[in-house]
Amino acid sequence: MGIFITALGLILSSTHLSGFVWLAQMTVAFLLKDKYIEHLNDYNKLPNITQTQAQLLPATTSKIDINNCSQDDLVYGLGLPIVYANEIKSAQNEGHIFTHIEELADIAGIPDSYLQRLEHLIIFSYDIKKEADFSWRKCNNFSKEELIACNLEPEVVAKIIQEREKAGLYQSFPDLRKRTGLPLKKLTALL
Q: Which CATH architecture has domain 51-127?
A: Orthogonal Bundle (1.10)
pLDDT digits (tens, 9 = 90+) for 124-144: 887 655 555 557 778 888 889
Strands of 31-152, DSSP E: 64-65, 122-123
Percentage above 70 pLDDT, the chain: 69
Q: Does pLDDT of 37 surpass 80?
A: no
Nearby residues of 127 by Cβ (< 8 Å), 6 or more positions away: 67, 68, 97
Kindly report the pTM of this predicted structure: 0.43
Q: What does the chain come to in residues?
A: 191
Residue pair 66/88 in contact by the 8 Å Cβ criterion: yes
pLDDT for res 1: 61
